[in-house]
């Protein structure tokens, strides 16, 4: 079995994504789980999405939904998510596609196909986390893409080590039952994009520095 790789919260930072991928050198038997927040803030959201879609030609890719994709997909039907999308970098995303309308015209099938989570080899990948105490099959998608301290400050009790993002830290946060790999890419100018690489049960980190 190849490596399991997790990447999250790219936020339009195409160049940092390319640095991380160049360091990792994905191979055909690897699985990359992209954990959401591909868009907003950085100037190259469209290039990011094109790149991760094209990686299907290199290795196995899994695509999860993040809070920013969730807000974008609900922006036209819910005032709250309309506010979130446009106030958290949606203007950069629209610009990278040429217009707001072009986002779904170009990549609508991709955004509508995003999964809530992915389980592989004893690990569960999810954008933000889960509601502790709620069975996995009863989890609310809003929690899975937006939850923060209610998740990462508690033991979750599921039979998986959970890999997540959404809440940024200066370096990966490794706990017994979970690991957060969001190191602020796109939110802070000098913050790196960080990936987790799992090989033969050993977890290492690769960043864009």
The predicted structure's pLDDT at residue 1 = 83
pTM for the model stands at 0.98
4-207 homologous superfamily: Metallo-dependent phosphatases (3.60.21.10)
The predicted structure's pLDDT at residue 3 = 98
The predicted structure's pLDDT at residue 114 = 98
The predicted structure's pLDDT at residue 22 = 98
The predicted structure's pLDDT at residue 172 = 98
**Nearest CA to 152 among 135, 170, 169?**
169
Across the chain, which has 209 residues, the per-10-residue mean pLDDT values are 96 98 98 98 98 98 98 98 97 98 98 98 98 97 98 96 98 98 96 98 97
């Amino acid at each position: 079995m190849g490596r399991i790789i997790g990447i999250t919260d790219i936020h339009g930072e195409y160049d940092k994504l390319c640095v991380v991928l160049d360091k990792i050198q994905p191979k055909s038997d690897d699985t990359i789980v992209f954990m959401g927040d591909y868009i907003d803030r950085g100037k190259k959201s469209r290039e990011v999405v094109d790149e991760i879609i094209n990686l299907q030609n290199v290795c196995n890719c899994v695509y999860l939904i993040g809070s920013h994709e969730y807000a974008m997909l609900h922006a036209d039907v819910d005032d709250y998510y309309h506010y979130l999308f446009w106030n958290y970098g949606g203007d950069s995303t629209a610009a990278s596609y040429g217009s707001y309308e072009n986002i779904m015209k170009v990549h609508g099938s991709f955004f509508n196909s995003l999964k809530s989570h992915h389980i592989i080899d004893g690990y569960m990948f999810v954008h933000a986390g889960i509601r502790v105490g709620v069975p996995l099959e009863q989890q609310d998608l809003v929690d899975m893409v937006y939850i923060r301290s209610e998740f990462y400050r508690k033991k979750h009790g599921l039979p998986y080590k959970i890999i997540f993002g959404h809440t940024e830290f200066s370096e990966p946060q490794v706990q017994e039952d979970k690991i957060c790999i969001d190191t602020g890419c796109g939110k802070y100018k000098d913050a790196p994009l960080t990936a987790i690489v799992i090989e033969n049960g050993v977890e290492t980190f690769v960043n864009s520095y």
